[in-house]
Structure 1
Amino acid sequence: MNYPKKFPRVSVIIRTRNEEQWIVHCLRMVFSQTVQDVEVVVVDNKSTDNTLALARTFPVKIVEIEKYYPGQALNNGIRVSHGEYAVCLSAHCIPKHEKWLENLLRNFSANEGNIAGVYGRQIPLRYSSGIDKRDLLITFGLDKRIQHKDTFFHNANSMIPRALWERLPFDEEVTNIEDRVWAQTVINEGYQIVYEPEAEVFHYHGIHHSNKKERYEQTVRIMENLHMDFSGDLPASFKPGQLNIIAFVPLIGEIKCVDRTNLLLRTIQQLRQCSYIKDVIVISERDSVLLFAQKEGVKAIKREEKFLARGKSVENTLNFALTEYEKQNPITDAVLFVNYLFPFRPDGFFNALIEQYVYTGSDSTIAAFKNFRLFWFCGERGYQMIGENLKPRSEKNPVYEGLIGLGCITSSRFIRKGMLLGDQVELLNIANQQYTIKVSDPYFQEIARFFLEKELSLSEKKQFLP
């Protein structure tokens, strides 16, 4: 590749509004590029979540706007930048590799005078919807092309020369497709547009909408078979070993034991077997408990007395603890809540829980026990059955008993809102009823004592249901 020794300076303009789920992953990849002479401008439209706090952990310039027009937002970002080339990147687009910028830029090195803009390939995430997968795979193919008449252009992943932008900025009045409007203008002036498939980004959303489910699912299956390089993967920074996942273990009072088994120590040991957990943090109002935790090599946060008052939930405690933790560790992707009074967990349980959370794209994933028994709840009209009647088990749909204390992992953006469960919840099915035991009263202590004495060999038993 015949590049000059020093790359032209590039300004990456990222538009945001409540993008805390994506912004860290996006910025990590932007700052990992082979093109190092880069500045980043974040143009934020009144985010109400943690987007700006997370963005400020990187060396970025932030521009805040009150009213959003896509072209105006990009123009505002480019105006405060200094790069010879401006890159437009959506905050929820994650560059696939370190040569993303280099592959955009090389098109100008080859024919700088006649190329108005370059846009790159967008590929769906593993858990993007069927419609979005179909749209992205159809629109963004594998062949590079130079467009002389076609005005398709996409500012989720594009690059333009600053000198041309100064003469032909983006339209500041249109409410969408500012990229297509701009492309029409430059094509009319005799310029060309390049589609560069090797400048790839992961994009969660598609670019079209609706259509029948059967039609788009069939199309997706065909397109996934055609695109052998697409396997429904995730960006590297989304994968379990790269996320900043912490485990909170709150308890009230002194540590409970069953005979000689210290239940807190047992839980800490179980958590340590999971390679995906960055930190284990014990939360307690007792200095003796905090000291014990620190001696065992885990972190400790002292719970304030107000969180022990009636009406205060575990969600209040986790919200408080995350706020304290992030004073020293500002980037937390997910929080694992664990109740130490559940002594029994399958081998590899926390790894399996975290992997299901990551690869399904859920907001929360919890352990659950499949149950075919009959349950009722008492409502305004008396007792009402949950589930189905006395059908044979083979004909019934099961009811799932949520075991949040056994393990519940949730995106940190919900914990910051005081919520333990997000909007989209996945279940990790537990096969053995032993794992439902919670040492909360003398009866269950006796049952736990029996199993602790036996310590059944669980490795030979099926632990997770499909």
Structure 2
Amino acid sequence: MTDVDIPRRRRGRAARAVASAPTVSLVIPAFNEEATIERCLLAVLAQTRAPWEVIVVDNRSTDGTAEAVRRLARAHPEAGIRLLRQFDAQGLVPTRNAGFAAATGDVLGRIDADSVLAPDWVENVSRAMEDPAVGAVTGPVTYYDVPRFGSLPVSDDLVRRTLWHLGRRRCPFLYGSNMAIRATAWKSIEHAACPDHEDVLHEDIDLAVHLKQTGIRVAYAPRMRAGVSARRLDSSPASFRAYTHRFVATYESHGIDHWTLRAPRHLLQGLFWATRRGRR
């Protein structure tokens, strides 16, 4: 992993932190995200409370992802945008881990390259993390490219809230497009988090399971909102079924066996068919 040479003129720490609020580093894994990364970073730049730093981790991209990040970093040198190269291994887990290792904030915000954060996202994450009992937090997303619904926010808050409530007892839940984990919480589970070399698990659910096993609380923040692309819903029904089966595979790999394991799969299958009709 290398740190690409980008001009970095950070704002003073006093100016970027608000009182004693936890500082938030944003970590964004990216593989061939030229079409989405600029929109993602522009939303980060529009935050009501600036993140401590913004770390984009390029994982062997062959398109213009890196140049798009460099261009925005040059245009906004005060934003603390860093571009890292993680070319040692292909995959989300090693790319995420490289970003976490490089981050220096109290809280590690973890989003995807197609995530578009609400303007008060960092503010809401910081507020949730003011509770020392909270080790990680997740929130709902809206799908910003479902044409049938026009400009209406099509939120999956009900789905995510239901999954989180189930997770409080049986099936721990985090959502990688919209989550944050306290740096100390990550350090406590880093050695145990699954490398998933076969790419059959949900890496965010894996983190949630390890947090629960360690006794670290995961909170749900309905105001911690982000938009994401519904592009996964363009996949075939068979491909999407395989994607949702990762929930069961992840829980079962940790010895969690209960009827509620099927709930996430069924909820997201319902969302798949509902939004798929909306995209026609």
Whether the TM-score (by the shorter chain) exceeds 0.5 is yes
Identical-residue share of aligned pairs (%): 21
- Distance (whole Å) between structure 2 residues aligned to residue 218 and residue 83 of structure 1: 35
The equivalent of 1:159 in structure 2 is: 180
- Distance (whole Å) between structure 2 residues aligned to residue 147 and residue 105 of structure 1: 22
Task: Give the gaps of 5 or more residues in structure 1.
Answer: 225-231, 233-359, 361-466
Q: 2:83 aligns with which of 55, 62, 77?
A: 62
Pairwise CA distance, 1:75: 1.3
- Distance (whole Å) between structure 1 residues aligned to residue 176 and residue 271 of structure 2: 27
Q: TM-score, normalised by structure 2?
A: 0.66
Structure 2 residue 125 is matched with structure 1 residue 71:
no
Q: 1:107 aligns with which of 97, 116, 128?
A: 128
The equivalent of 1:344 in structure 2 is: none
Structure 2 residue 50 is matched with structure 1 residue 36:
yes
Pairwise CA distance, 1:197: 1.8
Flag the 1:200–1:163 CA change in 2: closer, same or farther, 3 A. same
Structure 2 residue 103 is matched with structure 1 residue 81:
yes
Structure 2 residue 47 is matched with structure 1 residue 47:
no
Structure 2 residue 40 is matched with structure 1 residue 18:
no
Pairwise CA distance, 1:140: 3.1
Cα displacement string for residues 391-433 of structure 1 (whole angstroms, at most 9, x for unaligned residues): xxxxxxxxxxxxxxxxxxxxxxxxxxxxxxxxxxxxxxxxxxx
The equivalent of 1:274 in structure 2 is: none
The equivalent of 2:207 in structure 1 is: 182
Higher strand share: 1
Structure 2 residue 127 is matched with structure 1 residue 127:
no
Could you tell me whether the CA contact under 8 Å between 2:163 and 2:173 is conserved in 1? no
Letter in 2 for 1:148: R
Matches within 5 A, 1:434-453: none
Flag the 1:50–1:125 CA change in 2: closer, same or farther, 3 A. same
Pairwise CA distance, 1:219: 6.0
For the residue of structure 1 that corresponds to 2:221, the secondary structure is strand
Structure 2 residue 137 is matched with structure 1 residue 118:
yes
Pairwise CA distance, 1:71: 2.2
- Distance (whole Å) between structure 2 residues aligned to residue 106 and residue 99 of structure 1: 10
Could you tell me whether the CA contact under 8 Å between 1:147 and 1:193 is conserved in 2? no
> Which structure has the higher relative contact order (CA within 8 Å, separation 6+)?
2
Could you tell me whether the CA contact under 8 Å between 1:123 and 1:140 is conserved in 2? no
- Distance (whole Å) between structure 1 residues aligned to residue 273 and residue 101 of structure 2: 42
Cα displacement string for residues 104-141 of structure 1 (whole angstroms, at most 9, x for unaligned residues): 221111x21x22211121111233799xx999466235
Q: TM-score, normalised by structure 1?
A: 0.41
For the residue of structure 2 that corresponds to 1:197, the secondary structure is coil
The equivalent of 2:196 in structure 1 is: 173
Pairwise CA distance, 1:48: 1.5
- Distance (whole Å) between structure 1 residues aligned to residue 148 and residue 95 of structure 2: 28
Flag the 1:22–1:167 CA change in 2: closer, same or farther, 3 A. same
- Structure label with greater radius of gyration: 1
For the residue of structure 1 that corresponds to 2:181, the secondary structure is strand
- Distance (whole Å) between structure 2 residues aligned to residue 115 and residue 137 of structure 1: 20
Pairwise CA distance, 1:46: 1.4
Higher helix share: 2
- Distance (whole Å) between structure 1 residues aligned to residue 155 and residue 19 of structure 2: 39
